[in-house]
Structure 1
C-alpha cells in the first residue's frame, strides 16, 4: 500500500505521511507536484523522516533516464518512476543507472494506448514494476485503471501496481484483479482524518474478498457525487462558472440534485409549469423561466403535486407564491422572490426546450444542484467529470479545515506569499 504525496509543500507532505504510516501505509511516494515544487530536497526530507520506509520518487522520467535516476537515488529514493511512453533508449538507460545505484524502476503506463503490449516490452527491458495508472484528468472523465490489470498480470511476471482515484473499494477490486501494489493519493492525502482513511484502505487491501464490489450506473454515481458536495465546490470545479444569477433558496437547509425538465413561460402563466409535473420523472427538477418578478407561475398546490412524482425540486427565474405552504411541504424551491399573486393558465410557452434561467442556458437533462448558497447548472455532457472534480475540491477543503483547526491560518498553509505571481 503506497501513499502518493501529490502536494506542493514538503512540511505538509511529511505530516500527512506520518499520519498515513500510522494508518498502515507501507511505501511513501514523493509525488510529481512535490518534486516539481521542492526538487530533490523533498525526496531527501521524506527519506530522512522515514528511513525505514520505501521511498518512491515519481520523477515521470521521459528523457535523460540515467541522470534523473542518479539524482533521485542519491537523494534517497528506493524506487524511481519512469514514463512507460518514454523512448526505449531512455528506459534502458534508466534501468542501467538503477542497477548501478541500487534502486528499482517502476514504469507508469499513463496514456499508453496498448498497455498490455507495452508491459511485455517493459519487462524485457528490465523494469522492476509496472504501474497501471489513470491520471487525475483521465479519472475525471471516467477512465478506470482496473479495466486492464487482469490482462497485464497474465503476460508479465513482475509486480503490477494500480493507481488512479482508488478508494477502499477500488483497492479491493485492484487486489482481486491481481495488483500487488495499490497507490492511493487523494482519498488519503485530502482526508480530514488521514489515519482513519488509511486504515480503512489497509483493511480492504488485506481482506479484499469481504469488500462488496459493484459498479453503479454513471447517472447514479453523478447524483451521489453531486449530493455529497456543495454548490461552491461545484463552482470551483467549473472554474467559477455555472452559478445561476439572483436565484435564492426559499427554504433553508434543503439540498436538491436532479435532471432538468425545462419550461418557458411568460408573466405568471402557470399552465406549462403545472403540465410539466405530469411529464417529469422521479429524480427530475422543474426549471422555469417566468420573465417577471411581480406575478408567480408556481405555488403551494403545484409544489405538493411534485411529491407524488418524486420530483427533487423547483427552480424559478421569477416569483413564487404560497411560501408558507411551501415551507410546510418541505420540497426544495429556489426562486428570485416571492409574491402573493399568480397569473392565469393561458398555455403560452413550451416544455423541454433550451431556456435561460438565472442568466444561464439550461438544457433538458442538465444536472441542477441547489443548496443554501444558490443553484448551479452542470451540463449533462460533462456532468461526470465536473462531479468528480467537485469531489476533489471538497476533499481538499476538508483537509484544509482540519489543518486550520490545528492552529494554522489559511495563508500559512497555502504559503500564499511564496506563490504570488512575480
Structure 2
C-alpha cells in the first residue's frame, strides 16, 4: 500500500506521510508535483524522516533516463518511476543506471497507446514493476484502471501496481483482481483525518472480498457528488465560472441538485413557468428568465404545485412573491427579487429553449446546484468531470481546515509568500 504525496510543500508532505504511516502505509511516494516544486531535496528529506520505509520517486522520466535515475537514487529513492512510453533508448539507459545504483524501476502506463503489449516489452527490457495508472485528469472523465488491470496481470510476470483515484471501495476491487501494489493519493492526503482514511483503505486491502460495495449508475454518482459538495467548491472546480449573478435563496439551509427545465418568459407572464411544472420530471429544477424584477412570475401556488411532480427546486431571474408561503412549503426557491404583485398568464415564451439566467447560459438538461451561497450551472456534457473535480476541491479544503485548526495561519499553510507571482 503506497501513499502518493502529490503536494507542493515538503513540510506538509512529511506531516501527512507521518499520519499515513500510522494508518498502515507500506511505501511512500514522493510525487511528481512535489519533485517539480522542491527538487531532489524533497526525496532527501523524506528519506531522512522515514529511513525504514520504501521510498518511490515519481520522476515521470521520458528523456535523460540515466541522469534522472541517478539523481533520484543518490537522493535516497529505492524505486524510481519512469514513463512507459519513453523511447527505448531512454528505457535502456534507465535500466543500466538502476542496476548501477541499486534501485528498482517502475514504468507508468499512463497514456500508453498499446498498454498490454508495451507492458510485456517493458518487462523484457528489465523493468521491475508495471504501474497501471489512470491520471488525475483522466479520472475526472470517469476512466477506471480496473478496465485494464486484468489484461496486464495476465500478460506479465512482474509485480503490478495500480493508481488512479483509488479509495476504500475501489481498492477492494483492485486487490481482488490481483494487483500487488495499490497507490492512493488524494483520498488519503487530502483527508482531514489522514490516519483514519489510511486505516479504512488498509482494511479493504486486507479483506477485499468482504467489502460488499455496490456500484452506482453514472447519474446517481453525479447527483451524490453534487449533493455532497458546496457551490463554492463546484465554482472552484470550474475555474471560478458557472455562478449565477444576483440570485439568492428564499429558503435557507436547503440543498438543490437537478437537471434544468428552462423557461423563457416576459414581464411577469406566468403561463409558461406554471406549464413547465407539467413538463418537469421528478428531480428536475425549473430555471426561469422572467424579464422583470418588478412583476412576479412565480409564487406560493406554483411552488406548492411542484410538490406533486417532485420538482427539486426553482430558479427565477426576476421577481417572486408569496415569500411566507414559500418558506413554509420549504422547496428550494432562488430568485433575484421579491415583490407583492404578479403578472398575467399570457402564454408568451418557450419551455426547454436555451436561456440566460443570472448572466449564465442554461440549456435543457444542464445540472443546477443551489445552496445558501447561491446557484451554479454545470453544462451537462461536463457534469461528471466537474462533480469529481469539485469533490477533490472539497478534500483539499478539509485538509487545509485541519492544518489551520492545529494553530497555523492560512497564509503559512499555503505558503503564499513563496507562491506569489514574480
TM range (shorter): over 0.9
Residue equivalent to 2:164: 164
Residue equivalent to 2:42: 42
Residue equivalent to 2:145: 145
- Measure the CA separation in 1 of the matches of 2:176 and 2:353: 46
Residue equivalent to 1:234: 234
> Secondary structure at 1:123's aligned position in 2?
helix
Higher deviation after alignment, 79-88 or 297-306: 297-306
1:29-81 CA distances to partner (integer Å, 9 max, x unpaired)? Answer: 00000001111111011011011100000001111111111111111100000
The question of whether the paired residues in 2 share the 8 Å contact of 1:173 and 1:213 is answered with no
- Measure the CA separation in 2 of the matches of 1:282 and 1:94: 58
> Secondary structure at 1:162's aligned position in 2?
strand
Residue equivalent to 1:123: 123
Residue equivalent to 1:380: 380
- Measure the CA separation in 2 of the matches of 1:297 and 1:418: 52
> Secondary structure at 2:154's aligned position in 1?
coil
> How many residue pairs were aligned?
422
> Secondary structure at 2:245's aligned position in 1?
coil
1:182-203 CA distances to partner (integer Å, 9 max, x unpaired)? Answer: 1000001000000110000000
Residue equivalent to 2:214: 214
Q: CA deviation at 1:215?
A: 2.8
Unaligned runs of 5+ in 2: none
Aligned residue runs from structure 1 range 284-295, under 5 A: 284-295=284-295
- Measure the CA separation in 1 of the matches of 2:36 and 2:421: 17
Residue equivalent to 1:182: 182
> Secondary structure at 1:148's aligned position in 2?
helix
- Measure the CA separation in 2 of the matches of 1:235 and 1:177: 37
1:281-312 CA distances to partner (integer Å, 9 max, x unpaired)? Answer: 11100000001011111111111111111111
> Secondary structure at 1:182's aligned position in 2?
strand
- Measure the CA separation in 2 of the matches of 1:370 and 1:88: 52
Residue equivalent to 1:69: 69
> Secondary structure at 2:342's aligned position in 1?
coil
1:253-293 CA distances to partner (integer Å, 9 max, x unpaired)? Answer: 11101000000111111111111111111110000000101
The question of whether the paired residues in 2 share the 8 Å contact of 1:295 and 1:343 is answered with yes
- Measure the CA separation in 2 of the matches of 1:350 and 1:418: 53
Higher deviation after alignment, 210-219 or 318-327: 210-219
Aligned residue runs from structure 1 range 317-356, under 5 A: 317-356=317-356
> Secondary structure at 1:334's aligned position in 2?
strand
- Measure the CA separation in 2 of the matches of 1:361 and 1:232: 18
1:332-352 CA distances to partner (integer Å, 9 max, x unpaired)? Answer: 000011111111111111100
Aligned: 1:251 with 2:251: yes
Residue equivalent to 2:88: 88
Aligned: 1:10 with 2:10: yes
1:111-161 CA distances to partner (integer Å, 9 max, x unpaired)? Answer: 012111111111111111100001111111111111110111001011111
- Measure the CA separation in 1 of the matches of 2:238 and 2:285: 21
Aligned: 1:202 with 2:202: yes
Higher deviation after alignment, 98-107 or 16-25: 98-107
Residue equivalent to 2:367: 367
- Measure the CA separation in 1 of the matches of 2:197 and 2:310: 35
Q: CA deviation at 1:100?
A: 1.4
1:343-385 CA distances to partner (integer Å, 9 max, x unpaired)? Answer: 1111111100001100111000000000111100000111111
Q: CA deviation at 1:227?
A: 0.9
Unaligned runs of 5+ in 1: none
Q: CA deviation at 1:212?
A: 2.1
- Measure the CA separation in 2 of the matches of 1:114 and 1:177: 20
| TM-score normalised by length of structure 2 | 0.99
Q: CA deviation at 1:213?
A: 3.7
